[in-house]
Structure 1
């Protein structure tokens, strides 16, 4: 197909997106819209994470359930802050171009 590009996502990006859904209980559709991923793609990531029993992160081994929940929450918060920073950069760039 002409003009068709397949996007690839890092495991960290996928884990953070899944943490938004599983760690914070946000709807898949909302998270997918916010991070710019197709809803079905995010649903597949969430399903895979549930089937694998959560995280593949070696740092999670030996952690209590409350620590895993807190870690997922912090990862989701970190991902959201990164998205906010990226958005702020885009807005700043847009305003800078507009000022010329």
Structure 2
């Protein structure tokens, strides 16, 4: 018997702000800029990329490109997306 495999989209699991907070915190803890950008892209898809594009004033296509696996969003884009999803970047002393 052959099992069907389905693509998993982590955006489907981000139903609450608490889940998003944990997801983003884990991404930021890696210190990997590309991973953080992808994580922001996942959250933006979970919240609705069109809605995020409207709130940030950026083109939806630009957001998909910037927040993709090969994207490299500017700090301005990152901060705009964070604000649009209801989160902020904060600083804390490194351990």
TM-score, scaled to structure 1: 0.28
User: Which structure is higher in RCO with an 8 Å CA cutoff and minimum separation 6?
Assistant: 1
Larger helix percent: 1
TM-score, scaled to structure 2: 0.29
Which structure is larger by alpha-carbon Rg, 1 or 2? 1
